[in-house]
Copies of this chain bind each other. A is one copy, B any other.
Amino acid sequence: MAALTELLQSFDAEREGAELYQLVSDLYPICRSITGNGLRESLRLIQRTAPLSLHEVPSGTPVFDWVVPNEWNIRDAWIKNNRGEKVVDFHRSNLHVISYSTPVRQSMSLAELRPHLITLPDTPDWIPYRTSYYQETWGFCLNYRQYERLRDETYEVCIDSTLGPGHLTYGELRIPGGTDAEVLISAHSCHPSLANDNLSGMAVAAVLAQHLSGMSLRYSYRFLWIPGTIGAITWLALHEAELHKIKHGLVLSCLGDPGRFTYKRSRRGNAEIDRVAAHILAHSAREFHLLEFTPLGYDERQYCSPGINLPMGCLMRTPNGVYPQYHTSADDLSLVNSRSLAESLNTILHIIRFLEGNQRYVNLKPKCEPQLGQRGLYRQLGGTKNATAEEAMLWVLNLSDGEQSLLDIAIRSGLLFATLRAAAENLLEAGLLDEADRRRQ
């Protein structure tokens, strides 16, 4: 707590934002997918910021209703016209190839090529992002203006990819805290050159992990950088026995755009993380959105599936599918900015500080008020109004029944969490409170 409070008090938004934006920029050119070397390269790049470990799960491993797929790698891809000019070139944008495209090297007419071309006629300058992980096919995505310029000639088509047994890679980092109880932070890491979805989440998770490392914390923190859907499913299947340790969690994505914050509740709807995130946003003096859980979106689909049902929400700015650039080449480095990234990190740090400090206490002198004055905790001259610090102590004493947390007391009293937390610390020191967790042991 103290280290977190200090970090927040001296939070240097400019420096944090610059570091986050640099990490997003460094990751941007790499062609990631749900498996393969681009994913490995990205995780190794993040290791410079946060000491995650790379884990490799062999293709063919059964994971719940799924099987880990073959590994996909790509070196090059292009379409040449009959003058030998590359009219589509993977090296100009890795979105040009449908992810998991099977290898191709072939000449064909425009008519034959067309079924393999995907465009967005409504936004003619943008290249769409498409995948075909589980049905073998190949194809190119291109902007509509490129597409319109294609003439009826013979094209040479090349996708220099491999698809075969290999591994699914994910990154994991556990920062041990005072207890085994864990907070899980998860960022999907399988998208190629898309900046807001998902590089912003990957980068914020990395810098967050960097900050938490070495701090003295109540909870242990587990970070995952995993391929979307199949990565979350794989990790959950391999760690089912340990899931009970996860007390709170956040899926991070879309954290770099200038939109307002959006918190999507866990399937439980009123988990502590849901209430804390809602409280932090409500007290931020900024506009925000709260969404109820839906089984669509990011990996909360898996973490909040009915047989897993972890208390995990999803923090975003503008949500997936809501901003027009979503899943197109326009989700590029110009869509995200260092100020938004830093603000996102700051908000998550506030949420974590609140979780860390959101204790439940037991009043050890519950019959009438204890005599605070004799303990130097109360004004001695009667007849004047209570100071806020005194009010806070009276609230904490009155409601600390071992069930109500400081969040509950903050909501009931209208007092700030920090004020209540300070009151609780004074009362603890005076021997008037105990931590509920400690008493349960």
Which A residues fall within an 8 A CB radius of B? 64-66, 98-99, 128-135, 137, 229, 232-233, 236-237, 240, 267, 292, 294-296, 301-302, 304-308, 321, 327, 363, 365-371, 373-374, 380-386, 391, 394-395, 397-401, 412-413
Complex Cα spacing A159 to B327, Å: 83
A384 touches B308 (CB 8 A): no
CB contacts (< 8 Å) of A305 on chain B: these are 366-369, 397-398
B368 touches A296 (CB 8 A): no
A295 touches B370 (CB 8 A): no
CB contacts (< 8 Å) of A400 on chain B: these are 306
B135 touches A385 (CB 8 A): no
Complex Cα spacing A140 to B16, Å: 57
CB contacts (< 8 Å) of A296 on chain B: these are 386, 391, 394
Nearest chain-B residue to A191 (Cβ)?
B383
Nearest chain-B residue to A383 (Cβ)?
B130
B371 touches A65 (CB 8 A): yes
Q: How far is the CB of A272 from chain B (nearest CB, A)?
A: 21
B129 touches A383 (CB 8 A): yes
Nearest chain-B residue to A327 (Cβ)?
B383
With A327-B383, A363-B307, A383-B327: A295-B368 Cβ-Cβ less than 8 Å: no
Q: Which of B130, B295, B366, B395 contacts A307 (CB 8 A)?
A: B366
Q: How far is the CB of A38 from chain B (nearest CB, A)?
A: 16
Nearest chain-B residue to A128 (Cβ)?
B383
Complex Cα spacing A325 to B64, Å: 66
Complex Cα spacing A305 to B380, Å: 21
With A232-B368, A321-B385, A381-B131: A395-B65 Cβ-Cβ less than 8 Å: no
CB contacts (< 8 Å) of A267 on chain B: these are 398
B295 touches A397 (CB 8 A): yes
Complex Cα spacing A158 to B26, Å: 81
CB contacts (< 8 Å) of A374 on chain B: these are 134
Q: How far is the CB of A235 from chain B (nearest CB, A)?
A: 10
Q: How far is the CB of A382 from chain B (nearest CB, A)?
A: 4
6 residue pairs, one from A and one from B, having the closest CB atoms: A307-B366, A131-B382, A295-B398, A307-B367, A135-B380, A295-B394
Contacts A237-B367, A307-B368, A308-B366 known; 15 new A-B pairs at CB < 8 A: A98-B381, A130-B382, A132-B381, A132-B382, A134-B374, A134-B380, A233-B368, A267-B398, A294-B395, A301-B369, A305-B397, A306-B399, A307-B365, A307-B366, A327-B384
CB contacts (< 8 Å) of A134 on chain B: these are 371, 373-374, 380
